[in-house]
Structure 1
Amino acid sequence: MIIKKVFFIFLISFLWNTCDCGKILVVPLEGSHWINMDIMIKALHSHGHSITVVRTTKSWYIHKHRVYEIRGGSSTTFAGLQLEMFTAMYDLHGIICKMARSMFTDEDLMKRLNETKYDLVLTDPAWGAGIMLAHFLKIPLVYNVRWITSGEGHLAIAPSPPLKNVLFLFIWELQDRFLIDPQYQAVCTEFFGAEIRYRHLLQGADIWLMRVDFVFEFPRPTMPNVVYMGGFQCKPAKPLPPHLEDFVQSSGEHGVILMSMGTFVDEVPHDMTDQIAAAFAKLPQKVIWKHKGYRPTTLGNNTLLVDWMPQNDILGHPITRLFVAHGGTNGIQEAIYHGVPVVGIPLFFDQYDNLLRLKERGGAKILTLSTVDEDNFLNSVKEVLSDQSYRENMQRLSRLHRDQPIHTLDNAIFWIEFVMRHKGAAHLRSESYKMPLCTYNSLDVIIFVLAREGLFDYTKCCINSSL
């Protein structure tokens, strides 16, 4: 079957020490998610563990020159973008399900995996192949995760505004119930039986390693198997390459602005690119802009376009003044670590959510994608540059983030090794995810009490009327 040859290969690396090392099967995502996973894999490797990474032979996740076209500034534009993303999500999850079927029907491959006796599966649950593979192999499951559509938060303790939260929850539930879950459930039914529910597999991981912390995240109660490791990929800045250092130093007292729209998007629509470039040209600061493709006609002499840049090192440079970003978790965490204020232009997924948390802490200003033009972009940049409270708030968050008893990456490694030592962490996992919604929210108890009271009052009224 051709799909077997196309959709997966194994990259295997071994480091055997005299220590009690484990065998870890990693099923990652691509793009910025892989950046995080790669850091964790290397750390595990340095601890003597053998790592097997399952990936596709072909990248389907990152489209090299994908442009989301934006016409005008209407609210329907953003809705159209979200609809396009939902369609893409449906297609991508369908590909993952094909990959899973290919693996599960390959008897030689499954025999090899079983005979290797892995200690656990480490995966990002945004895609479900790793979740189902852990169940197939009957081994513990650990997540490296920022967010998933099924969520690990509870609606009752979600921050205000409640109406908007309920609306967004409804939208995500629709996506889960009708676009994502049915595809994975079909695979589960085919290979594990109809009694195995994909949603239960998804929420039944031994440990959730969350790529946020409560410096960034809103405080809320969580289960003991949820471990927060926000900013684990952050590190002190290294010296810049000579050509970048010369450009940065040429900014003098005005400093440097960094702009990047992340891994997914190399460029934005041409008209928006021209307006952003025109705004930058009016500033005294120098600008380093990660941008590919179309070269803006309004580009100023103060702006350097680059295909790639050492983002962490530029953010950590002492004269970096501002970060213009899409709101991805990696960039936001690095901005917090280095104390650099943000002007955010969120595109999709959790990006607005990330920027909103930073805005609430006084470290960011948010622009909506459909309304960005030269004037409001320039005014927003000037506001964040001139109002020192933005930088002071980010510096405060940086101090809080760094003031921890143990590095978050070391903490994550401890919990992964904990699961390997004890063959899971079921004692830390709540089984509430298996409860029906009405039982979980005590609706059955409420209905029973109300019905009992109603019946009592009705009987009392009948007796009184008969007298």
Structure 2
Amino acid sequence: MEFIMASSVMHDDTRAAWKLNLGIIMKYTAALIVCATVVDAGNFLIVLGPDKGSMMFTTIAIGDALVERGQNVTVLVNEGNANRIRNHNSKFRVEMHTSSVTEAEVNNVEQQTTARALAGDGFWTGWYWSVEMMDGLFYRQCRDLLEQDDVIKRIRDSEFDLVLASLGHVCPVLIAKHIDVPFVGLMQSFLPVAFAHVYHQPVDSAYMPPAFTGWTDRMSFHQRLMSSLISILNWPSFWNEPLTFPNFSQLKDQFNISRDKSLMRTMGDAELWFVMSHPALDYPRPVMPDTISIGGLTTKPSNPLEKKFEDFMQSSGDDGVLLFTMGTTTQGANKEFANIFAKAFAQVPHKVIWKLSGDPPEDTPSNVMVTKWLPQNDLLGHPKTKIHVSHCGLNGVYEALYHAVPIVCIPMFGDHHDAAARVKSKGIGVEVALEGLTSAAVVDAVKTVMEDNRYRDNIQRLSAIYRDETLSPAHRCAYWMEYVVRHGSVKHLRSAAHHLNFAQYHLLDVLAVLLTLFAVLLGLIFCIFKTLCRCCCRIFCGQKVKND
């Protein structure tokens, strides 16, 4: 009776809380049911490159999800990163190989890329210099790996069911083909229009902006014109593998890998494509059924902070904390760049946690904690965190979206500009240009985001949309990998476009026939018109002579 009486006077907010808790329980129960359907453990191989930044984090997040779902995961990694992988997850089986690529070389490219961006290097010269340099490192590591017969024999004898191939470098695709194991492709960014051509995805230059431009899906006439031209120019470059991947094309032929098809068609053999996209952040676009959106692989509920961070957070009062991270890019930051932010943070009311790998400026204000490492996801999930200032790397943007923290973007290179454009277009943050960066610009951006409630409201709304999923992005990726293994193949998800050559795919043969028919029709019309003119001339001219 007491329980009934208490229930009858339950407040509305209590009922709402019960409904919310019930919804969460049902969602995670459904996820557990899905996980429980996995009976037989699969055998999965993850091939890592020489990099140790965001590309590694996202790939390993999928491995973590597979392990949590009872799968066997082997990580093929160079000996320099082996201990890092073992310490991350003891359940991974680590397969090592030697490589002539050193960590110092990778760090040097990252530092030089940042230095070029800060020095005002043009995007195309600075970023593509970095791509060329990293491509050289990826090629050397891939060559070294393929030459190690003992390693190749061990992974071939392991009888893997599926390979997770990050498309940030081509080597995992070559390894999968070399050991004759199907693979799934992981795109470490939004789906670029250029690669969409290769993977036979629908492309419309009217509302699909090219990669690395920082344009939105609402393009001006000039942008649509340039988008169309870029799309057309990408056709020959991405179908001509010696132009796009000259080193890896040589490796493919040298080791007799898929000699019957081009490198691009070899990459197109992926069973599925995982793309770092989600409608809460990315622009809506049509994709094929074999393309799965898994944006935000590193997002997850926050864990309690260690004491030094928690004490600092609690000392921030009502103003809260500003989290400032620039990923691995700060390794190449100069003192002038760091001083800009030190001066800016002295003018904001928030406490600031600043991830900086180098030495802090001498005049670092007292409200700033400088640290070489920080638990970014856990800090973003803390209720005291009010704003995130970053270079707009995709992992950080999705983590901020997950935890509903507005963003100030300072893009440097690569897909940073594309992520910043999406942050702005969704109304969840602002962008500050790197060129001509000043302390005043940083302070103004922080004030704009903090004082305009629309940014907070927008990101809370989109965060709720983003989190309204049965499975996390990493577990969604793991589920689809298990799906491939369970069914042996997912050819039913692939369109017939994969069986068409370049001319057929772009209807060039049809266009040629239509143009020929049109030319013949014009010729016939011309002949008929010419004949009629002659007849008319004979009739009228003959009648005139007769009258005369």
Question: In the alignment, does 2:189 pair up with 1:151?
Answer: no
Contact 1:65-1:265 within 8 A present in 2 as well: no
Structure 1 residues 70 and 279: CA distance shift in structure 2, 3 A = farther
Give the alignment partner of residue 178 of structure 2, picking from 101, 120, 136.
136
Find 1:57's aligned residue among 59, 74, 79: 79
Per-residue deviation at 1:168? 5.5
Q: 2:360 aligns with which of 246, 271, 295?
A: 295
Counterpart in 2 of 1:33?
A: 55
Structure 1: which amino acid aligns with 2:64?
K
The 2-side partners of 1:331 and 1:382 are apart by 21
SS in 2 for 1:265: helix
Secondary structure of the corresponding residue to residue 412 of structure 1: helix
* Conservation of the 8 A alpha-carbon contact between 2:258 and 2:266: no
User: For 1:179-220, what per-residue CA distance to the aligned partner results, in whole angstroms no more than 9, with x for missing partners?
Assistant: 641211111122236532111112221011223211111111
Query: Matched residues in 2 for 1:258 and 1:174: separation?
Result: 44
Displacement of 1:333: 0.5
Residue segments in structure 2 that go unaligned for 5+ positions in a row: 1-37, 81-102, 209-216, 533-548
Letter in 2 for 1:385: M
2:233 and 2:518 map into 1 onto residues whose CA distance is 36
Aligned to 1:66: 111
Q: Name the CA distance, whole Å, in 1 between partners of 2:521 and 2:505.
A: 26
Residue in structure 2 matched with residue 446 of structure 1 by the alignment: 511
C-alpha contact (below 8 Å) 1:279/1:374 kept by paired residues: yes
1:406 Cα deviation after fit: 3.2
Aligned length: 446
- Equivalent pair of 1:146/1:212 in contact (CA under 8 Å): no
- The answer to whether the aligner puts 1:185 opposite 2:245 as a matched pair is no
Q: Alpha carbon RMSD of aligned pairs, Å?
A: 2.6
> What is the distance in 2 between the residues matched to 1:174 and 1:276?
44
**More moved, 206-215 vs 282-291:** 206-215
Q: Distance in 1 between matches of 2:509 and 2:235?
A: 22
Show the 5 A alignment for 1:58-457: 58=80, 59=103, 60-63=105-108, 66=111, 68-69=114-115, 77-79=120-122, 82-147=124-189, 150-152=194-196, 154-156=202-204, 158=208, 159=217, 160=219, 161-166=223-228, 169=231, 180-190=244-254, 191-192=256-257, 194-266=259-331, 268-433=333-498, 435-457=500-522
| Aligned counterparts of 1:107 and 1:335: Cα–Cα separation in 2 | 44
Does the residue aligned with 1:369 lie in a helix, a strand or coil? coil
Residue 265 and residue 423 in structure 1: after superposition, are their counterparts in 2 closer, same or farther (change >3 A)? farther
Compared CA separation, residues 37 and 296, structure 1 to 2 (3 A): same
Alignment CA distance shift 1:174-1:360 (3 Å): farther
Provide the TM-score with structure 1 as the length reference.
0.87
Instruction: Specify the SS of the correspondent of 2:328.
Output: coil
User: How many angstroms does 1:36 deviate by?
Assistant: 1.7
Q: Distance in 2 between matches of 1:55 and 1:264?
A: 23
How far the C-alpha of 1:327 sits from its partner, in A, is 1.0
| Residue 169 (structure 1) shift | 4.8
1:465 corresponds to = 530
Distance 1:141 1:343, change over 3 A: same
Q: 1:65 to 1:452 in 2, by over 3 A?
A: closer
Distance 1:416 1:71, change over 3 A: closer
Task: State the Cα distance separating 1:128 from its structure 2 match.
Answer: 0.8
Shift of 1:367: 1.6
**Residue type at the aligned position of 2:74:** T
Q: 1:22 aligns with which of 37, 42, 53?
A: 42
Pair 1:339–1:182, CA change in 2 (3 A): same
CA contact (8 A) 1:204 1:429 kept: no
- The one-letter amino acid paired with 1:108 is D
Report how far residue 71 of structure 1 moved. 9.1
Q: Is the 8 A contact 1:78 1:369 kept in 2?
A: no
Deviations 1:233-285 (A, max 9, x none): 21222222222222222221111110100134335232122112111111111
CA distance change for structure 1 residues 391 and 174 in 2, over 3 Å: closer, same or farther?
A: farther
Aligned to 1:12: none
The answer to which of 396-405 and 259-268 deviates more is 259-268
In 2, are the aligned partners of 1:343 and 1:381 still within 8 Å (CA)? Answer: yes
1:189–1:195 Cα contact (<8 Å) kept: no
Residue 465 of structure 1 and its aligned partner are, at CA, apart by: 0.9
> What secondary structure sits across from 1:318 in the alignment?
coil
**Does the CA-based 8 Å contact 1:25-1:120 persist in structure 2?**
yes
Asked if the contact 2:109/2:133 (under 8 Å) is kept, the reply is no
Q: Is the 8 A contact 1:82 1:348 kept in 2?
A: no
CA distance in 2, matches of 1:407, 1:193: 35
- CA shift, 1:172, in A, is 6.8
Q: 1:367 to 1:170 in 2, by over 3 A?
A: farther
SS in 2 for 1:121: strand
**Are the equivalent residues in 1 in contact too, given 2:237–2:243 (CA < 8 A)?**
yes
Q: Distance in 1 between matches of 2:147 and 2:48?
A: 21
Counterparts of 1:175 and 1:274, CA distance in 2? 42
Name the CA shift for 1:70/1:55 in 2 (closer, same or farther; >3 Å).
closer
**1:413 Cα deviation after fit:** 1.6
Unaligned runs of 5+ in 1: 1-17
Q: Identity over the aligned pairs, expressed in percent? A: 28
The one-letter code sitting in structure 1 at the alignment partner of 2:55 is: H
Partner Cα distance (1:189, 1:274) in 2: 51
Residues 96-126 of structure 1 deviation map (CA, whole Å, 9 limit, x = unaligned): 3333333334333333222221111112111
Could you say what secondary structure the match of 2:413 adopts? coil
In structure 1, the partner of 2:85 is: none
Q: How far is the alpha carbon of 1:45 from its aligned partner?
A: 2.0
Q: In structure 2, the residue corresponding to 1:40 is in which secondary structure?
A: helix
Amino acid at match of 2:195: G
How many Å apart are 1:434 and its aligned residue? 5.3
Q: 1:267 to 1:91 in 2, by over 3 A?
A: closer
Distance 2:234 2:325 in 1: 27
Which sits farther off after the overlay, 387-396 or 165-174?
165-174
